[in-house]
Amino acid sequence: MGIRTNSASYDRFLPKWTKCRDAVGGEDEIKEKGETYLPRPSGMSDKDYEGYLGRAQFFNATGRTLDGLAGMLNRKPCIVKVPEGMEKYLDNVDGKGHSLSQFISAVCRDTLITGWGGVLVDMPQSDQSVSQADFEKNGMYAYMVHYRAEACTKYRWQNRGRFNSLKYVILSEPTEVDSVGMYNTQVKDYRRVLEIDENGDYRQTLYDDKLVPVFGVNPKWKQGNMKEIPFAFMSANTEPEEPLMKDLVNTNLSHFHKSADYENGLHWTGVPTPFERGWLPETKYDENGNEVAQEPMKLGGTQFLYFPPGTEQVGFLEFGGSGLSQLSSAMQNDEERMAILGARIIAQQKKGVEAAETAKIHNAAENSVLASFANNMSKIFSRLLRTYLEWTTGQDIPQEDVKVSINTDYDVSTMSPSELTALVALWQSGGIAKSDLFRNLKEGEILEADRDLDEMNAEIEEEQKSRTPAAGTETE
């Protein structure tokens, strides 16, 4: 049935998403997949491959880079603008106690891995006769649900004038259900279908693992049926794009392959092997007079090797080639390449002091990509938040009254004392307005990012009043 089939783009990108997630997961995730990420050399036995895999080291540049990128996005709190009195709805937007900022942070981090996924705005089912006031009193607000890229199995867009809108979205939803026996449960693959029905109304249907409908509903809002699916993909495009860290992941896995060969080489060549030339061990025969085959030659400090008579000599076999040094050099090249691709937090610091402007140019490409990502996510969450608030309150809210702004300032340097002095002097001389001074103080991290100019002016006036003596009061 069509509900179980996937979109062509889903099948094409799923292996890439899986690889990126495994790389972020680190060494345990990578090694658990065995030959998927570390092919077995020809002729290697199971036991030898087990050691080959176990000795390899996965240098998790991908996970560290993700931590760094997510940290940059959250370096300053996101700025949220909503109509007065609606701030209370931002404290628990997913029904699980997470604030809007926490929810956005988690979604952004996941989207950095795959570049895809979506968020659904939904509402608990209720009796339509219940008033909005009673609905709010019982805490029955709308809520947001994040679906990872792997859960968005199928979708279709439709053209509605100048705009594309979703015709349907099918979501994979693993659901824990009761099984035979007390306290036994099992997870089954349910499918949630969001669609615009034949009447042009939004309909949601949940199917169980046998595709039997569990429930179906045409959600109501503002005393009517919804005409659009309240779901947004976490991308500026209508189809998945290449994951942001795909190239970094591929280089990270190439580094892992070299590490396996390098560590394997160290294992076999690092310990000298004793040998004796000029004497052979005694040939042994079985009870039938047949020569017993000698055991295969082994390498390692606990094994003694013998060679045919010739020049008598006792010594140690030691590694003398350049193969391992070449592997080591190639691994270092991979690490530098990973630094260029985004993992600057693992690169060695340059000697000397880098000029501030040079550093900004040095990081311009990375910052522009991350800033573009942040701007796209800000637009998407602004739309989702407006839907969430309108559905929760039953009110029409102008588009300009709801805005989410995720941090795009990734320069960790703050304003220097000389810059601050010059800026204040410029304002005092009338060269810039107070609003310009205020904006620069926020950008220079002298003031908090969410500081409001009107609130600051009110606080200043209040402080000045407290310092001014009351009329008739004598001062010394």
Range of the domain at 443: 414-468
Query: 262-269 — which CB contacts under 8 Å span 24+ positions?
Result: 262/324, 262/327, 262/328, 262/331, 263/55, 263/56, 263/57, 264/51, 264/52, 264/55, 264/56, 265/323, 265/324, 265/327, 266/324, 267/51, 267/55, 268/299, 268/300, 269/299, 269/318, 269/319, 269/324
**Amino acid 343: pLDDT:** 43
Structure confidence at residue 462 as a pLDDT band (50, 70, 90) = confident
For residue 129, pLDDT beyond 60: no
Average pLDDT over all residues of the chain? 82
Q: Considering only residues 379 and 462, tell me which one the structure prediction assigns the higher pLDDT.
A: 379
* Any domain includes 106: no
Average the pLDDT over 191-195 and give the result.
97
For residue 232, pLDDT beyond 60: yes
**Amino acid 351: pLDDT:** 41
Average the pLDDT over 57-77 and give the result.
88
* Any domain includes 180: no
For residue 116, pLDDT beyond 90: yes
* Any domain includes 446: yes
Q: Considering only residues 15 and 409, tell me which one the structure prediction assigns the higher pLDDT.
A: 15
**Amino acid 135: pLDDT:** 56
* Any domain includes 128: no
**Amino acid 313: pLDDT:** 62
Q: Considering only residues 338 and 217, tell me which one the structure prediction assigns the higher pLDDT.
A: 217
Average the pLDDT over 381-403 and give the result.
95
**Amino acid 178: pLDDT:** 85
Structure confidence at residue 365 as a pLDDT band (50, 70, 90) = very low
**Amino acid 379: pLDDT:** 96
Query: pLDDT > 70: what percent of the chain?
Result: 78
For residue 44, pLDDT beyond 60: yes
Structure confidence at residue 133 as a pLDDT band (50, 70, 90) = low
Tens-digit pLDDT profile for residues 311-355? 556 565 555 656 677 778 878 888 877 776 764 433 334 444 444
Q: Considering only residues 179 and 257, tell me which one the structure prediction assigns the higher pLDDT.
A: 257
Structure confidence at residue 1 as a pLDDT band (50, 70, 90) = low
**Amino acid 346: pLDDT:** 37
Most confident stretch, 129-133, 134-138, 330-334, 463-467: 330-334
Three-state SS string across the chain, please?
Answer: CHHHCCCHHHHHHHHHHHHHHHHHHCHHHHHHCHHHCCCCCCCCCHHHHHHHHHHCCCCCHHHHHHHHHHHHHCCCCCEEECCCCCHHHHCCCCCCCCCHHHHHHHHHHHHHHHCCCEEEEECCCCCCCCCHHHHHHCCCCCEEEEECHHHEEEEEEEEECCEEEEEEEEEEEEEEEECCCCCCEEEEEEEEEEEECCCCCEEEEEECCCCCEEEEECCEECCEECCCCCEEECCCCCCCCCCCCHHHHHHHHHHHHHHHHHHHHHHHHCCCEEEEECCCCCCCECCCCCECCCCCCCCCCCCCEEECCCCCEEEEECCCCCHHHHHHHHHHHHHHHHHHCCCHHHCCCCCCCCCHHHHHHHCHHHHHHHHHHHHHHHHHHHHHHHHHHHHHHCCCCCHHHCEEECCCCCCCCCCCHHHHHHHHHHHHCCCCCHHHHHHHHHHCCCCCCCCCHHHHHHHHHHHHHHHCCCCCCCCC
**Amino acid 301: pLDDT:** 47
**Amino acid 372: pLDDT:** 87
Tens-digit pLDDT profile for residues 135-159? 555 667 899 999 999 999 999 999 8
For residue 300, pLDDT beyond 60: no
* Any domain includes 69: no
Q: Considering only residues 44 and 466, tell me which one the structure prediction assigns the higher pLDDT.
A: 44
Q: Considering only residues 378 and 326, tell me which one the structure prediction assigns the higher pLDDT.
A: 378
**Amino acid 188: pLDDT:** 92
**Amino acid 75: pLDDT:** 83
Tens-digit pLDDT profile for residues 238-250? 999 999 899 999 9
For residue 398, pLDDT beyond 60: yes
**Amino acid 354: pLDDT:** 45
* Any domain includes 110: no
**Amino acid 422: pLDDT:** 80
Count of domains forming the chain: 1
Question: Does residue 211 come out as left (phi exceeding 0), alpha (psi in the -120 to 50 range) or beta?
Answer: left
pTM recorded for the entire structure: 0.76
**Amino acid 280: pLDDT:** 59
Query: pLDDT > 90: what percent of the chain?
Result: 46
Q: Considering only residues 274 and 179, tell me which one the structure prediction assigns the higher pLDDT.
A: 179
**Amino acid 121: pLDDT:** 97
